[in-house]
């Protein structure tokens, strides 16, 4: 399994990974209408735009893209980051790929400089992130609008 930086020709494959994962994994926790909203927000064009906001990575099994994740500045901050678009294809889940993606994002130059990393976590992903050391932001343990938890990790700055 290789994790490498996204390039623009990957956009279609990344979109397909996200949409399949949303329709199979997230559909267990969200109503069908919301699933389709999420799918519509992850077209290849949207993925290309998202990649411009930060550093997007892809996890590959040979040539095949099977997972993705992005680390981006949090509202332009130099020391706060946000992790976005974290997805692993259902058939590849439970094999350590999600953990490798998060570690890659945390060790990326953006992640390393951060003293606070925020994650808008799905109902599906919240316990995964909690397991990796992310805590509820401001002690709020419930999801915003019933759909998304706000999690964060604070850490010493590495130079
Ligand atoms: C959440 C997701 C990215 C995790 O990826 P994954 O490759 O299955 O996770 P890993 O196999 O790397 O798991 C890493 C660790 O987290 C734990 N873990 C994984 N999912 C978990 C869950 N739902 N609850 C608790 N722990 C979990 C694993 O047991 C493993 O623990 P270990 O390393 O101590 O043995 C993946 O399941 C996914 O794509 N889900 C649907 C999309 C989604 O909701 N993404 C988040 C959007 S905010």
Q: Which CATH class is domain 2-115?
A: alpha beta
Q: Alpha-carbon distance 46 to 24, whole Å? A: 20
Q: Note whether 68 and 60 are within 8 A (CB).
A: no
Q: Tell me the average pLDDT of the chain.
A: 95
Q: What is the pLDDT of residues 113-139, one digit of tens each?
A: 899 999 999 999 999 999 999 999 999
Task: Tell me the CA–centroid distance for residue 57 and ligand 1, in Å.
Answer: 17
Statement: residue 151 has pLDDT above 80: yes
Look up the pTM and report it: 0.96
Task: Tell me the CA–centroid distance for residue 93 and ligand 1, in Å.
Answer: 7
Protein residues whose CB sits closer than 6 Å to any atom of ligand 1? 21, 25-26, 86-88, 93-99, 121-122, 124-125, 127-128, 131
Which atom of ligand 1 lies nearest, measured to the CA of 87? 39
Q: What is the pLDDT of residues 74-119, one digit of tens each?
A: 988 889 999 999 999 999 999 999 999 999 999 999 888 899 999 9
Lookup: tokens for 94: 């439970």
Q: Note whether 51 and 110 are within 8 A (CB).
A: no
Going from N- to C-terminal start, the domains of the chain cover 2-115
């Amino acid at each position: 399994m290789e994790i490498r930086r996204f390039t623009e020709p990957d956009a279609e494959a990344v979109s397909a990974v996200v949409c399949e994962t949303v329709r199979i994994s997230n559909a267990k926790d969200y109503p069908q209408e919301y699933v389709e909203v999420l799918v519509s927000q992850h077209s290849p064009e949207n993925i290309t735009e998202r990649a411009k906001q930060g550093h997007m990575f892809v996890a590959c099994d040979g040539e095949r893209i099977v997972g993705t994740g992005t680390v981006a500045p949090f509202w332009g901050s130099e020391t706060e980051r946000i992790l976005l678009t974290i997805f692993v294809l259902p058939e590849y889940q439970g094999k350590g790929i999600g953990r490798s993606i998060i570690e890659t994002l945390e060790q990326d130059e953006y992640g390393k400089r951060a003293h606070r990393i925020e994650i808008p976590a799905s109902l599906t992903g919240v316990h995964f992130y909690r397991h990796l050391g992310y805590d509820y932001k401001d002690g709020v343990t419930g999801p915003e609008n019933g759909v998304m938890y706000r999690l964060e990790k604070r850490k010493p700055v590495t130079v």
